[in-house]
Amino acid sequence: MGNSKLYKGSLTTIILKLLETHGKMYGYEITQKVKEITKGELNITEGALYPALHKLEAAELLDVEVAKVGNRLRKYYKLTDKGSVETVNKLKELEQYIRNMQVLVNPKWSIE
Amino acid sequence: MGNSKLYKGSLTTIILKLLETHGKMYGYEITQKVKEITKGELNITEGALYPALHKLEAAELLDVEVAKVGNRLRKYYKLTDKGSVETVNKLKELEQYIRNMQVLVNPKWSIE
DNA sequence: ATATATGCATAAGAAAATTATGCATTATAT
DNA sequence: ATATAATGCATAATTTTCTTATGCATATAT
């Protein structure tokens, strides 16, 4: 994914949030949207993305709908109700993670 | 480590930053300091910490100094010059990671 | 005396990525 | 025209990083 190892573990959160925002998306579209939003800094690899989508589908957080565009196949994913709930959880976890990392890295903010 | 998977990949950054701030620390001290700063939310496990310290030492980012306190052994770690440089890099990566995640997760902020 | 805290370490396994493929269609540049 | 890049899905082998479990040893509080 990114140039740094920090992105490890955040792919699920990214996918869920993008689907919450955009309603439904297909795999390739997700990679392009992430690249666009991060101005090329974060590139989701297919080897990471597709297994992640399949896992989320298996966990019933996503529904899939196959569409044929021209002669090309697309698999649109969207959040299930369960997926919407999980998205909220993941976003809270992200906020907490960021807060914790910030106090760890910015000692001024902690009581010495 | 944490309750969430987001912490994966951030242990090295945490260790380097703590050593930059505190000069030298031993393993157990690091676990306690992290617990204290995050108010118990992040607990570094020994199974993660010690291999990480050994790896950083092997990469010559850390120097080790063994001390005997009473009858107890402590291994104090401190940054090498190389380690100080790498710390700066890791902190930049963390800031960039946080910025990217924030725009991914909070589309409104990307306009600001 | 026994539990808790301090202090280090490693091993087996799981989870999530990277890297390398593979297949197929469509658009574009030379 | 045809080679290259882009679009679109997928999986397999390997690596990295963590969890969980275990082991050893000393100090302290109840």
Q: Of B87, B81, B82, nearest to B16 (Cα)?
A: B87
Question: DSSP character for B71?
Answer: T
Residue A109 binned pLDDT confidence (cut-offs 50, 70, 90): low
pLDDT tens for each residue of B50-71? 999 999 999 999 999 999 998 8
Query: A24-26 and B62-69: which strand pairing?
Result: unpaired
Whole-model pTM: value is 0.94
Please check whether residue B26 is in contact with residue B50, taking contact to mean a CB–CB distance below 8 angstroms: no
Average pLDDT over residues A54-63: 98
Cα–Cα distance measured from residue A109 to residue A100, given in angstroms and rounded to the nearest whole number: 11
What are the residues with a C-beta under 7 Å from any atom of nucleic chain C?
A: A 1-2, 7-12, 45-48, 51-52, 55, 70-72; B 5, 8, 26-29, 32, 46-47, 50-51, 53-54, 69, 72-75
pLDDT of residue B1: 87
Average pLDDT, chain B: 94
* Closest residue in B to A94 (Cα–Cα): B6
Q: Helices A46-58 and A27-37: crossing angle, nearest 10°?
A: 120
**Torsion angles phi and psi, residue A19, rounded to 5:** -70, -35
Confidence category of residue A3, pLDDT binned at 50, 70, 90: confident
Closest Cα in chain B, distance from residue A57 (Å): 19
Q: In the A/B pair of chains, how many CB contacts fall below 8 A?
A: 100
**H or E element at residue B79:** strand B72-79
The reported pLDDT for the residue numbered B112 is 46
Using the Cβ of A106 and the Cβ atoms of chain B, whether some distance falls under 8 Å is answered with: no
